Amino acid sequence: MARQLEKLRNIGVIAHIDAGKTTVTERMLFHTHASHRVGRVDDGTTVTDYDPEEQERGITINSACVTFPWKGVTINLIDTPGHVDFTAEVERSLRVLDGAVVVFSAREGVEAQSETVWRQANKYHVPRLAFINKMDREGADFYETLDEIEKRLQCEKPLPVILPVGSGPPHVEGAFRGIVDLVEMTMLTFPAEKNGAEIVVGEIPGEMAEDADMWRSHLLEQLSYFSDELAELLLEEKPVPAPLIRRVLREATIHDLVVPVLCGSALDGIGVQPLLDAIAEWLPSPADLPPVTGVDPKKPDSQLHRKPDPQEPFCGLLFKIQADKYGDLSYVRIYSGALKANSRVLNAGKDTKENVPQLWHIQADRREQVAQVEAGDIIGIIGLRHSITGDTLCDVKAPILLESIAFPETVISMAIEPETSDERKKLSAVLDMLRRQDPTFRAKESEETGQTLISGMGELHLEVIKHRLLREHKLNVRVHNPRVSYRETIERPVEVTGRCHRTVGGQRLFAELTIRMEPWSEGEKPVTVLSVCGGQLPGELLVAAMEVLVGEGEGGGMLGFPLMNVRITVLGGEVHDAESNETAFRMAAADAFRKALSEAGIVLLEPIMRLEVTTPEEHLGDFVSDLQQRRAVITRTETRGNLTIIDAEAPLANLFGYANAVRGLSQGRATYTMEPFSYRPAPPDVLSSFM
């Protein structure tokens, strides 16, 4: 029997670190019988955190894919990291997913990384549910978190469909003990002795009746904007049947018009089955979404569409590579058509053909080989040789190029040195494998010092890489302290003429090239090169000159740091009939670039981090004073219960070792997160240290 695409859900679980994503995933696996026990993050026994580094640290580092059934629906779920250093894992997962569950802590509310993953979901227009977790914690506040979802995330219609009954830890008066289903208007409890697997349906308690009526009226009022049938029933003051509410909720959620909000405690097994019901009922299947759009690789201005249909030509997007010494495992989302093992596909962006020897169904760290996959599937391929993250694979006879995946630039670097020449060869191979796996990891060898410079998204990112080199790959290397990845730009626009008037090998060479170099922050690339000289220069000479300008721009500025926010425009040039050739114009272009860079003035840019500190109120003054000493700009403070949240922007160079400072300033009671925010001009004393 053919598979029903309508019964498939491709979703991700996304959140700030420690909001409980992995515990939510673990409970889902248990309640769907995909796992026979409930693993614990603190014990390192969860299904999706199988990497030793994850188990030791108690955090998710690599996104993991699991599949399980629920009430006739097959759910492909990706559990993503919550730490900002590994936000690329969230980015590439959301690029290929159809829906998402955003998990919030009822105690901490909307945190810094919550905003980041929400923006990423907005970027890819991913329909989502919100799950307010940890209702059993002291200080949990469902309604405050709901308010923050609306205000801090600028979510116009967060729509509660579940209300908590009580809040706070067990054995305390008014403790969290169950939930109210506003669609069915019943109370659900989850007996602890059944480990949350059994649901007891009862009447809404008297003290909750008024609130339940009010929030159900709010739910129906909001949904009436999307259904004439429901609006008419409200106007006529007739009962609104639950199936109609569910149908309208589904349509509104799929079209990203509302965000249904649920709550519970994954650790105690409360509220997870209603969340599974919501995923199955309200998040889209591949068939609910519009056809994927791409272009003909040979006609960039064209537009092609592929429906999620096995009969369409095959196309898929490679969104993750898991490097392995036995062969890289490439994760591919199939958007259309079917793919068989031992077949041949086209890498549309590179215009190269790839063999597909093996197809694998992935269940966290376990794999099962399959013969064929179809539209809607997320699958692993072993055997691809030329394809990397973001590449499109498609039918050789029907090329299509899908939108790729953009990743942020690295902000921090660290030098490593192998002890022996044999170690150097091994290190090179391992770093190449890590680059394939992690698109936010960079590695470059310095010709002057012989050191290898590795770059990443933060201190934790580089620390994890270092541990993998030392422990997993048994490399004997010396590791130096992290350093900031500065950038350079120019101070003012200039126009210069580069010249080549010389004799090389007995041949006279002549070329003059005039360019304008100016600050420019609107381009997608760090350095933008273009021409406005029309037909003034022969095509092959102009191409040669522009190739050199692009290469020089990528090579770095006066201080050796990468350039950014620069535009170079070729204005014109002079050509001699007998003495001008490509070599001459390459020399003139290099001369023009060096002159322009020298005359335009140096601006050193330093990476600025967005910082969020959560501290008990009595330590607020100490944190403000410390942040000011670190050249931080405090943008907001907000009180949440007995805690104060400080939002600030600070130079990365002044935040090394900040974790120790946070512990010392608050006796271990405060927490913080930070993420790359922008690049800004560094003060003169920092610039002078590089001159």
pLDDT (tens digit per residue) in 221-244: 999 999 999 999 999 989 999 999
Q: Which fold has domain 604-688?
A: Alpha-Beta Plaits (3.30.70)
Confidence of residue 43 (pLDDT cuts 50, 70, 90): low
What's the order of all strands across the beta sheet hosting 494-504? 494-504, 507-519, 566-574, 527-531
Residues 6+ apart with CB under 8 A from 505: none
Cβ atoms of 130 and 158 closer than 8 Å: yes
Locate CATH 3.30.70.870 in the chain.
412-485
Whether the pLDDT of residue 404 is over 60: the answer is yes
The listed range with the strongest mean pLDDT (176-190, 351-365, 395-409, 441-455) is 176-190
CA–CA separation, 558 and 347 (whole Å)? 38
Q: 183-196: string of b/e by CB count within 10 Å (b at 16+)?
A: beeebbebeeeeeb
Using alpha carbons only, give the angle 370, 372, 378 rounded to the nearest 5 degrees: 80
Average pLDDT over every residue of 92-110? 91
CATH classification for the domain delimited by 412-485, as one of 3.30.70.870, 3.40.50.2000, 3.40.50.720, 1.20.1260.10: 3.30.70.870
Closest of 656, 650, 657, 648 to residue 614, by C-alpha: 648
* pLDDT average, residue stretch 245-257: 95
Token readout for 33 is 């019988």
Could you read off the pLDDT of 502-519 as tens digits, one per residue? 888 788 999 999 999 999
Question: In percent, how much of the chain has pLDDT > 70?
Answer: 96
Q: What pLDDT was estimated at residue 688?
A: 84
Amino acid identity of residue 690, one-letter, is: F
User: 234 by DSSP, 3-state: which?
Assistant: helix
Here the contacts of 196-205 (C-beta below 8 Å, separation 24 or greater) are 196/27, 196/31, 196/268, 196/269, 196/270, 196/272, 197/30, 197/31, 197/269, 199/273, 204/180, 205/165
- 121 by DSSP, 3-state: which? helix
The predicted structure's pLDDT at residue 2: 53
Contact 414, 480 (CB under 8 A): yes
Q: Where in the chain is the domain with CATH 3.30.70.240?
A: 604-688
Q: How far apart are CA 660 and CA 668, in angstroms?
A: 9
Residue 1's pLDDT is 37
Q: How is domain 292-402 classified at the CATH fold level?
A: Elongation Factor Tu (Ef-tu); domain 3 (2.40.30)
Record the tokens describing residue 226, joined without a space: 């999307």
Residue 3 has pLDDT above 70, yes or no: no
Ranking 229-238, 254-263, 681-690 by mean pLDDT, the lowest is 681-690
The Cα–Cα gap between 229 and 241 comes to: 11
pLDDT at 522 over 70: yes
| CATH classification code of 492-600 | 3.30.230.10
What lies within 8 Å, CB to CB, of 573 at 6+ separation is 511, 512, 513, 514, 533, 536, 537, 541, 545, 585, 588
Question: Which residue intervals of the chain bear CATH 2.40.30.10?
Answer: 292-402
What's the one-letter identity of residue 80? T
State the pLDDT at residue 50: 63
Q: What gap in Å lies between CA 690 and CA 591, rounded to an integer?
A: 24
Work out the pLDDT band at 593, boundaries 50, 70, 90.
very high
Report pTM.
0.76
Most confident of 22-26, 448-452, 553-557: 22-26
User: Which CATH architecture does the domain made up of 5-288 adopt?
Assistant: 3-Layer(aba) Sandwich (3.40)
The predicted pLDDT at position 393 comes to 94
How far, CA to CA in Å, does 179 sit from each of 132, 157, 298? 12, 21, 56
Secondary structure (H, E, C), 261-298: EEECECCCCECHHHHHHHHHHHCCCHHHCCCEEEEECC
- Which of 197-201, 465-469, 584-588, 662-666 is most confident? 584-588
User: Taking each helix axis from N to C terminus, what angle separates 620-629 and 658-666, rounded to the nearest 10 degrees?
Assistant: 150
- Which tens digit of pLDDT belongs to each residue from 609-664? 888 888 888 899 999 999 999 999 999 998 877 788 999 999 988 888 787 788 78
Check: CB of residue 50 under 8 Å from CB of residue 146: no
- Which of 198-202, 363-367, 484-488, 579-583 has the lowest average pLDDT? 363-367
Selection from 84, 81, 110, 106 nearest residue 94 by Cα: 81
Query: What is the pairing mode between strands 358-363 and 378-382?
Result: antiparallel
What is the pLDDT at residue 54?
A: 66
* CA nearest neighbour of 220 among 257, 253, 246, 201: 246
Question: Distance (Å, rounded) from C-alpha 397 to C-alpha 345?
Answer: 9
Contacts of 247 (CB under 8 A, 6+ apart): none
Round to whole Å and give the CA distance between 608 and 450.
29
Provide the β-strand partners of residue 657: none
